[in-house]
Amino acid sequence: MKTLIKKVVETFGPSGREDSIREIIKKEIEPFVDSLAVDTMGNLHAVKKGAGARVMVAAHMDEIGFVVTHIDKMGFLRISPVGGVAPVRCLYQRVLLDNGVKGVIGVEPVKNNNEIDFSKLYVDIGAKDEDEARSLAGEGRFGAFLNEMTELNDLIAAKSLDDRIGCVVAIEAARRLKKSPNEIHFVFTVQEEVGLRGARAAAFRIEPELGIALDVTGTGDTPESAKMPMKLRNGVAIKIKDSSLLVPKKVKEFFMAVAERNKIRHQPEILTFGGTDAGAINLSKSGILAGCLSIPTRYIHSVSETASLSDIEETVKLLVKILECDVKKELALE
């Protein structure tokens, strides 16, 4: 999967500007599904037909980024975040605008890092003055970070593992899934980083009987990290709760039982902050059963998000085995 991972994580696609990454995912998944469609929001729907339960598998295509708000007289771009972007993590990073212009994020002089906020940051695109900057990039341009995928022993580090790695898991599961009693809707969602927006619209349209989000989750395995049970190399994380969702007991137990039956390495996920598309799916219509399979990841919302290839593989295995089950029977929906 490494070739596919590299392709998708290095592609431009901040929230609201997912066109390029959607086209790549469309080409990758098309051979393994029966139909493809793009909805009004920009979500990509890839459906494997079936007569059983409607199962929605959601992975968001968008990444964190920024938007240009102003150009000063010296030709530097002032920016505002799109999604959860920490100013201190932006320092001196290379960036790409939606028209192909590249730049570097600089910062005005500060006494200490606690003073750094977006009012102090600017993007240097090499313009001589305001006029040249405007000819290259105007207000309203969207941008994202530039970084290549790097292998660290059996780990990978890259920008936008959140959540392009979930997209890879969905594509690979669609490839491996030969037969299912369910109707599977693989949905590659937009605008997750700015409020789970795409998943909410997609779930309303599909009305699934089960929603499964694929996303990254934090870890408790680095020096002085938050006390969380999730660790790299310990397998797929099966969500119990986060800020957007309390996973229904029977969904959590179903996922764990499938993992145990198939000897798939797994670990519990208890996240005290953040949320995923599963939270939006759960609250759609009059309520939808939803859960989440997560890939433990270090340094989330940075240009060097880091995950284990073995955890990614275990996530694919578990998703395939879940989709092979009779969901209506397993969750007593009949």
Annotated active-site positions, please? 192
Q: Residue 240 to residues 113, 243, 247, 288: CA-CA distances in angstroms?
A: 35, 11, 5, 16
Residue type, 323: L
Whether residue 239 contacts residue 214, with contact meaning beta carbons closer than 8 Å, is answered with no
Whether residue 218 contacts residue 229, with contact meaning beta carbons closer than 8 Å, is answered with no
Largest CA-CA distance found in the chain, in angstroms, rounded = 68
> Using CA atoms, how far apart are residues 259 and 236, in angstroms rounded to an integer?
9
> Using CA atoms, how far apart are residues 24 and 30, in angstroms rounded to an integer?
10
- DSSP class of residue 246 equals B
Give the CA dihedral 305, 306, 308, 311, nearest 10 degrees: -40
**Short-list 17, 190, 38, CA closest to 47:** 38
